[in-house]
Amino acid sequence: MIGINSKQKLKQEVFNYFLLVIGSALFVVGDVMFVNPYLMAPGGTYGLSNVLNTVWPWKISLYAICMDVPLLLIGTWILGPKFGVKTIVSTILIFVFTFALETWWGYNPLITDGPISQVATDPSMVPIPHDGGWFSPDYFLNTVIAGLIYGVAIGLIFRSGATSGGSDIISMILHKYTKISLGTLVMIVDGIITLSTLIAFGDIRLPIYSVIIIFIEGKVINLVVDGMKSYRTMFIITEKPDAIRDYIINDLERGGTCLTGTGLYKGNERKMVYVTLSRSDMLKLRSVLHIIDPKAFVNIMESSEILGEGFRALPSE
């Protein structure tokens, strides 16, 4: 008989796969209906596939799977089994959804912007000019919506426990053999893919709009993964820790930790209050510090993830 914990884990796992399916489907909608018709490539194997699909017409899904599968195999061989089952499932789902949508929908944009010449030799690939539908012809609007869709999609995929794979594997392999940080390598690889639109189509707008998509996507991913609430961690070196403690506990109804340290200059013993608060509570505490202790030294840092009592629960695994 399945125990309570096992039932909870099973329920969570089913929910994770639900997020994975929804995220994969949304990603495909963003790519096929918004990004590809406008000749943009915001990084990744699907970004490069968009460029190849336009220069040498073949299905985006086929280009992408021909890159994703070898990258997963090479990545597993060089880096070890870092890519879980969900990453493989996500790769397959995105391939299937992309193949289905591009076969059914084609590569026509949902938001038209006049005659964007996607494939000059194929008139069916040229979008129909705006005819008074829901949206006005707008390159920038299309870019913003694409970034929002991409962000929600990849955020849900991350929430499910999967990773993006694709071109990120190249960055991880290069990171293993170089001293360059992984974040820098991801930017370099995606930047090269983004610049390929300029090389292929000779339009400076395309890499610029692709970068805007990446920027919006990153912000939305953070919101989906970490939530809307923003937290700040404060380190307060003070001679009046008791007064600050009383305000935090009684007025803000939060907890914290008081640490004892030694100053480097004179070697005097000092008290430091360590507390993590929501943005609004941080502003309240900051505003009264000059009254409680005008000589206090304060360091405020943004906290991307807070786990434990009073915040998000610790993960079960």
What CATH number is attached to the domain comprising 293?
3.30.70.120
The answer on 295 and 186 residing in a single domain is no
Domain count, the chain: 2
Q: Residue 188 corresponds to which tokens in the numbers above?
A: 């370099």
Pairing of strands 231-238, 269-278: antiparallel
Q: Residue 247 corresponds to which tokens in the numbers above?
A: 């305000």
What is the DSSP-derived secondary structure letter of residue 115? -
186 domain residue, yes or no: yes
Q: Residue 116 above 90 pLDDT?
A: no
Q: Please provide the DSSP assignment of 274-308 as one string.
A: EEEEEHHHHHHHHHHHHHH-TT-EEEEEEES--BS
Residue 227's pLDDT is 67
Q: Are 122 and 57 in contact (CB under 8 A)?
A: yes
Distance CA 300, CA 280 (A): 13
pLDDT of 133-150, one tens digit each? 444 557 888 899 999 999
Q: Residue 10 above 90 pLDDT?
A: no
> How far from 35 is each of 119, 146, 149, 202, CA to CA, in Å?
15, 6, 10, 17
Q: Residue 92 above 60 pLDDT?
A: yes
Range of the domain at 273: 231-303
SS3 317: coil
Residue 132's pLDDT is 41
Q: Over the range 255-278, which residues count as b (16 or more CB within 10 Å of their CB) and which as e?
A: ebeeeeeeeeeeeeeebbbebbbb
In the predicted model, what is the mean pLDDT of residues 68-79? 86
Distance CA 218, CA 43 (A): 12
122 against 162, higher pLDDT: 162
The answer on 276 and 211 residing in a single domain is no
In the predicted model, what is the mean pLDDT of residues 61-83? 86
Q: Which pLDDT band, with edges at 50, 70 and 90, does 212 fall under? A: very high
Q: Residue 55 above 80 pLDDT?
A: yes
pLDDT of 215-230, one tens digit each? 898 888 878 876 666 7
Average pLDDT, the chain: 81
Residue 127's pLDDT is 41
In the predicted model, what is the mean pLDDT of residues 141-166? 86
Residue 120's pLDDT is 35
Kindly report the length of the chain. Answer: 317
Q: Residue 89 above 70 pLDDT?
A: yes
95 domain residue, yes or no: yes
The answer on 146 and 245 residing in a single domain is no
Residue 60's pLDDT is 94
Q: Which pLDDT band, with edges at 50, 70 and 90, does 93 fall under? A: very high
Last residue of a domain, one of 226, 248, 267: 226
Distance CA 113, CA 184 (A): 34
Residue 131's pLDDT is 42
Last residue of a domain, one of 161, 194, 226: 226
Q: Closest Cα to residue 59, out of 90, 43, 93, 36?
A: 36
> How far from 152 is each of 2, 28, 141, 223, 283, CA to CA, in Å?
34, 12, 17, 9, 29
* Percent of the chain clearing pLDDT 90 (strictly above): 28
Give the distance, in angstroms, between the CA of residue 11 and the centroid of all CA atoms in the same chain. Answer: 25
Q: Which amino acid is at 315?
A: P
97 domain residue, yes or no: yes
The answer on 202 and 130 residing in a single domain is yes
Residue 176's pLDDT is 80
Q: Which residues contact 213 (CB under 8 A, 6 or more apart)?
A: 35, 40, 42, 143, 146, 147, 150
